[in-house]
Amino acid sequence: MRELFDNPPPDDPTEATRRSARTTLPRRFYETATIAEEPGGYAVRLDDKPVRTPARRVLAAPTRALAEAIAAEWQGQQDVIDPAKMPLTRLANAIIDGVADAPGPVAAEVAKYLASDLVFYRADTPAGLVERQARHWDPILDWARQALGADFRLGEGVVFVAQPEAALAAARAAIPEEPWRLGAVHAITTLTGSTLIALAMARGALSADAAWQAAHVDEDWNMAQWGRDEMAVARRDFRFAEFQAAVTVLACRPG
C-alpha cells in the first residue's frame, strides 16, 4: 500500500475519484484495526501487525485517543482501502515522515502566511459583506492582540499591506514546536489561508465551527448572492475532511 499513500489525493474530489479509478485499490485484507502501547506512543495494528508509513516507519500516535481515531479510520474501510477516505492517516503519515524530522521548514511555511493572512484583507463594499467579515474576523484579530501581543494592520481589496515586524514576530513565537500540533496547525493554515485562525484554534480560543465559517466568509457571501456552485461545494466538502483530521489531532494532542 506504500504507493497509495506516497501520493496523497489532490485537493479536488473529481480528480480524486479519477485517480482512484486509475489506481487499483487493494482489497481490505484484515479483520480488525486495533492499537498497542509501545515506547513513546500507541501503534496502529491490523490483525496485530504494525502499519507502516510510506517511509516505512511505524504508524503510531503519541496519545491513545489519537491512535484510536486513526485505527477507527482503518476499521471504517469497507471492501477496499481508499486513501482518499483516510485523511487522518494521511496527516499522521505526513507528520511522522516529514514534520517530525524537519519541523523548521514547516513552521517557516506557516509563518509565511502571516504576511498576507486572510483576515487582514477586507472588502469596502457591499455593506453586508463588510459586516460579515468584521463579525467573523475582528474577534480573531482581537485575540491575537490580547493573547499574543500581535497588533496587525488591515487593508482593503487585494493590495498588499506590510505588517509590523513586532506583530509578525509575536505571532511566529506562538507557532507550536511539537510535531503533531505543528502538523495540524500547518494543515489548518493551508486549508483556511490564515495562520491566525490556526493559532487561535490551537490555543483553544476558536472552535472548529467558528474557524471553518471564518475561512469561508467570502465564499458563503457569494453563494448567498449568486447561488450554490456544486463543484465548489464538493471541493469544500473534500477539504473539510482534511480540516477535521487536523482538528482531531489538536483535540487529541493538547498542550
DSSP 58: B
Condensed to tens digits (0 to 9), the pLDDT of residues 160-203 reads 999 999 999 999 999 999 999 999 999 999 999 999 999 999 99
pLDDT given for residue 7 in this prediction: 62
- In total, the chain counts a number of residues equal to 255
**Confidence check: pLDDT of 56 > 80:** yes
- Closest CA relative to residue 110, chosen from 202, 21, 175, 191: 175
Q: Which CATH architecture has domain 103-252?
A: Orthogonal Bundle (1.10)
| Burial class of residue 149 in the structure, from the number of CB atoms within 10 Å of its CB (0-12 exposed, 13-18 middle, 19+ buried) | middle
d(CA 60, CA 67): 7
Sequence ranges of the domains in the chain = 2-99, 103-252
Mean pLDDT, rounded, for 127-139: 97
Per-residue confidence at 1, pLDDT binned at 50, 70, 90?
low
CATH superfamily of 2-99: ATP12-like (3.30.2180.10)
The better pLDDT of the pair 188, 232 is held by 188
pLDDT given for residue 226 in this prediction: 87
Any idea which residue has 484554534 for its cell?
A: 201
**Confidence check: pLDDT of 151 > 60:** yes
Condensed to tens digits (0 to 9), the pLDDT of residues 70-114 reads 999 999 999 999 999 999 999 999 999 999 999 999 999 999 999
3-class DSSP state of 81: coil
- Enumerate residues 6+ apart whose C-beta is below 8 A from 169: none
- Closest CA relative to residue 92, chosen from 47, 50, 62: 62
